[in-house]
Structure 1
């Protein structure tokens, strides 16, 4: 059990009538905390004799008439410290670290507001706070998709903690209990019980780490184990496609006049495939963004302006819609309509093997290429076709807005044969062989 002691902070130069700071020292299990009392007293009025009734308190003397109130304040601080230590021991089933005890004492003594020691409580409060709405790294609000992921992760954590307990309701998870085992268990829960795909598990696992980092920044006692390398989460390469130039041309020339909603979805996709713009930026494209034979537009994600050569297909489509692009289509509807339109293209009936891990099991299935077309396929097609045509990665990145080649290369969806074609087209592989003389 802890030992408690009050003493004065003095040195050889401290005069008997000079006020000295009263320190409150707590020792337990090899730990020590010196807690500020906010009290001062002249050493001449301090009783330091073990055999005296007022040991480590103010002397009962008329020269220091406020000694009753002074000693009552020290007694109250001692009682609060003992109760706080016992409560921490009961709540956490372990002794506190010095920083944890100080934080608990600050709350008990009204020096700071109580912080939730519960992970779920912290996340709920974080999502309601200004910090939980704003991406401090990018100096802009979080995207609505990110906020949605935050909320879904919280609900998954509630379900996970309920499964760990004996009731169907989420139980409090003190930060002290959120360790490597907890994080690893959450991954297993997402994999085996929710039967999520591997990359979905990674997505929610990384979001949990985001919450834990924010909790650590806020001063909560987050266990460093949760950031260990043995708990690193790695995505598996996603099975995504791109449409080559012939396939894009066939899609562009497909007659959809009698199905206008599919025609608009197809046209918007073609603009994306020859500009590399994200879906959100495509819907913002206006005649004012076109200057001669180029497009200049600031991207919503980074705020940086990108410049893009105006492809003939893009020019024709914008002319078709009065200098604009088709609008009024949600991302979800666009994906649905795209598949319906792509299913009408003979060149996209080719079957390809698609692999992925779900519920911890790796499987491969055959899918028609049109079934895998999404809004993001357009951006991948733009990057992959230019890369296949020999345009340097850095040049393409100037258009797509990527800042690192590592991220950019995730968009390149060339097959091994296509990579070999690029190498074969290199001048080094067309050098004539000179006969020996």
Structure 2
């Protein structure tokens, strides 16, 4: 049985001018809120147009041919739009104009020099680019990311009334696109900077495949606005451990938070841990998982603090909780634990769906991301960076250092600092218990 789309487009014609050669406009109605008018590509003398039938008056052969052409055009455009509705295509006035141009043969379908078309080609090839174990998850996340950016370009095209080619992506395009994303779409600067980097990646791929690009493409650069790195220090973690909580939901969230600060995983991996992730070899205990984002296999020695929580729960992880609830509850935990120092940061506004930058009490800025960053920051310098990277899943030392907000040092300086910290380490209480490598 054929399923009909939820909405069916209505297509009709209008003449909106009294000039001798007036444009015949096509009126496309998706629903009451979405009605678009675009030039159909046909002209007529208004004296030969019937507003009642919305068709040419059949006075001679040329008007009969015009009516026939309009009928064929209407059938074809209606089919295109309804097929798009069936597949959840985002329909805009600009998109409709593109379909009209295709019907009249003004542009070639899916020409790869068209920017959004090359995005489709790049997205199609993404699964072939992922070569690591678990690459299905990696490519799926990347596909979602690039589809989002493609949609932003479509919205930008609709805003400007232009169809952009790959070769249009130069400094001027970059500046106007950034202004649109910041002033019209109200995106944060770090998000915009990432989008520009990904856009450049797609254009460079197009260049490799023989598509003409702008001579300024290399000058199109993304950017990062340095933000406050929110972490929990060891002292703050101890305060959270010792605070008296009455609600079971907050106790449960507190246990997940502490575990997270000692295993350094993203919330998507942290909150899905079960007993199946606990492994033992030669009397040593580990948490083993495959990171959803990177597909990397990670093995983490169970820290004594984590072991204590598991023992309290008879060998089980805390009970399941959604990332949304986790983010809500750990703020309450931080508030009760007295994390009230004033720091700069961005606080999410539920009404605007945007972050508002300002100065807030620390508990207000705690999110699930604090777990992974606290682990990386707290143990950095006390243990070799490659060891920490194996846990966090960072691919390069540069990425890791940027993540924790540390400058990239030369190897001699790093070694000197490591030896100095190793000497201090021998004089203080050990925070991280190292277990010997399993055979």
Measured against the shorter chain, the TM-score band is 0.5 to 0.7
In structure 2, the residue matched to 1:85 is none
Match of 2:324 among 328, 332, 342: 332
Match of 2:369, SS state, is helix
Name the CA distance, whole Å, in 2 between partners of 1:233 and 1:185.
14
Q: Who is 2:177 aligned against?
A: 186
Q: What residue ranges of structure 2 are gaps of 5+ in the alignment?
A: 1-104, 348-355, 408-413, 425-439
Distance 2:206 2:263 in 1: 40
Instruction: Report the equivalent of 1:264.
Output: 252
Distance across 2 between alignment mates of 1:374 and 1:179 = 37
The partner residue of 1:375 within 368, 374, 377 is 368
Taking the aligned partners of 1:138 and 1:287, their CA distance within structure 2 comes to 23
The equivalent residue for 1:232 is 221
Q: TM (normalized to structure 2)?
A: 0.58
* Cα deviation digits, residues 290-310 of structure 1 (max 9, x gap): 324431414324444434332
Shift of 1:352: 1.7
Q: 2:263 aligns with which of 249, 265, 275?
A: 275
Measure, in 1, the Cα distance between the counterparts of 2:149 and 2:121.
Answer: 14
The SS at the match of 1:274 is: helix
Alignment of 1:300-339 (within 5 A): 300=291, 301-339=293-331
Question: Is the contact between residue 242 and residue 413 of structure 1 (CA under 8 Å) also seen in structure 2?
Answer: no
Q: Residues 408 and 378 of structure 1: is their aligned pair in 2 closer, same or farther, counting only changes over 3 Å?
A: same
Q: Please tell me whether residue 120 in structure 1 is matched to residue 116 in structure 2.
A: yes
What is the CA-CA distance between 1:202 and the residue it aligns to?
0.7
Alpha-carbon offset, residue 385 of structure 1: 1.7
Matching of residue 136 in structure 1 with residue 130 in structure 2: yes
Q: Which runs of 5+ in 1 are unaligned?
A: 1-107, 166-170, 357-362, 429-437
Match of 1:250 in 2: 239
Q: 1:252 to 1:156 in 2, by over 3 A?
A: same
Shift of 1:125: 5.8
Spell out structure 1 runs of 4+ moving beyond 6 A.
421-426
Find the aligned partners of 1:284 and 1:426 in 2 and give their Cα distance. Answer: 33
Matched residue count: 297
**Offset of residue 402 of structure 1:** 2.9
Distance in 1 between the 2:322 and 2:202 partners?
Answer: 30
How far residue 200 of structure 1 moved from its aligned partner, in angstroms, is: 1.2
CA–CA separation in structure 1 for the residues paired with 2:116 and 2:201: 13
Q: Select 2:163's aligned residue among 161, 164, 172.
A: 172
- Given that 1:184 and 1:231 are in contact with CA atoms closer than 8 Å, whether structure 2 keeps it comes out as no
Once the two structures are superposed, the pairs formed by residues 14-413 of structure 1 within 5 Å of their partners are: 115-124=111-120, 126-127=122-123, 129=124, 131-132=125-126, 135-136=129-130, 138=132, 140-141=135-136, 142=138, 145-165=141-161, 171-226=162-217, 228=218, 230-256=219-245, 258-282=246-270, 283-287=272-276, 289-291=278-280, 292-300=283-291, 301-346=293-338, 348-354=339-345, 365-387=358-380, 390-412=382-404
Cα deviation for residue 314 of structure 1 reads 0.8
Distance 1:206 1:321, change over 3 A: farther
RMSD in angstroms over aligned alpha carbons?
3.6
Which secondary structure does the structure 1 equivalent of 2:358 belong to?
A: strand
Query: C-alpha distance in 2, partners of 1:191/1:310?
Result: 44
Mapped contact 2:194–2:223 kept (Cα < 8 A): no
Look at both structures and tell me which one has the larger radius of gyration over its CA atoms. Answer: 1
CA distance in 1: counterparts of 2:156 and 2:109, whole angstroms:
29
**Structure 1 residue 378 displacement after superposition:** 1.0
TM-score normalised over the length of structure 1:
0.58
